[in-house]
Structures are given as C-alpha cells and as structure tokens.
Structure 1
C-alpha cells in the first residue's frame, strides 16, 4: 500500500520510501515500480527507496502505512527524520 501511495504522490511532490523489506527496496532502487491496472493499462514509476534512515533528508510529512503490528516501529522510525513542525499520518 505504501509503495502505491508513493507512486501516486510522486508526480506531485518529492517522495522517499523507507522500508524494512530488503528485496522490495533493492527492486525499487534498480527498476521503476510496475503498476498493472484492472483495465489492462500499465504504468512504470521510478521511486527513491531506502532501508537506511541515514540516507533520508528531514521530512515535512510522514505517511505511515505498515502492517498494524509494525505501526509503533514505523512511527519511531519516522520521528527520527520528521521535521519539528512536521506531520505524521498513519492509515491502517
């Protein structure tokens, strides 16, 4: 879900995806995200992704979309790079 949100937001703003699934991060770093829509059309969206918060600039908005049991960990990660006047949003 987070990757899809990132893909849809990327034409509108600077997006950096952070995740803990190494295979997904590696795939996004080496090829654009491939979206196949129900009507059959396809979209390829290049995204920046990392599993290392040291590579992330301070952020204005954190959109937190993990599995429910990982929300606290994801919020703690976001707090490390969220600007003091930033906003965190979580969706389950």
Structure 2
C-alpha cells in the first residue's frame, strides 16, 4: 500500500506520542488527510517498513505519494504546498 498518490496519508499507531503530537497539531489546520492505523492494517505496516529502513517508525506520512518519516508539522505542510496543494481546504 503506497497510499494516495495525490493526497496525504498519515500512518500511525495507538499510544505513539509522536503520532498524537502531530495529529493534535493538525487538528486546526486546513489539511485533509487519510489515517491508517498500522496495527490494524498489515499493508500499511508493510509500507511503513518499506520506507523506514525496515522499522515501523510512525508517524509516517505520504504527500502526493512521497514518504516522510516522522515529519514535523512544518515539514509536512511544506511538502503539502509543493506536492499536494489540493489537500488543503479553503477557508470559509
């Protein structure tokens, strides 16, 4: 599973403090993304291992099909602006 090739996919797992932090930071952003719990999705877990040196390092995010392993909010939004600007909803 390589995720959405045009949008944003956030691979995460329960109890991961780094995942919780990034998801909280994105709560009030205008970013639309799909969440994949790697403990419930074996294909998602395999994808994360394939881009994280064999480890299940989360959060891993794909932006327009490009993987980012444990990105900061700033890194993620910069990648979205460059590779998946359609993932940002417009302001009302």
Give TM-score scaled by structure 2 length: 0.28
Between Structure 1 and Structure 2, the one with more strand by share is: 1
Structure having greater relative contact order (Cα 8 Å, sep ≥ 6): 2
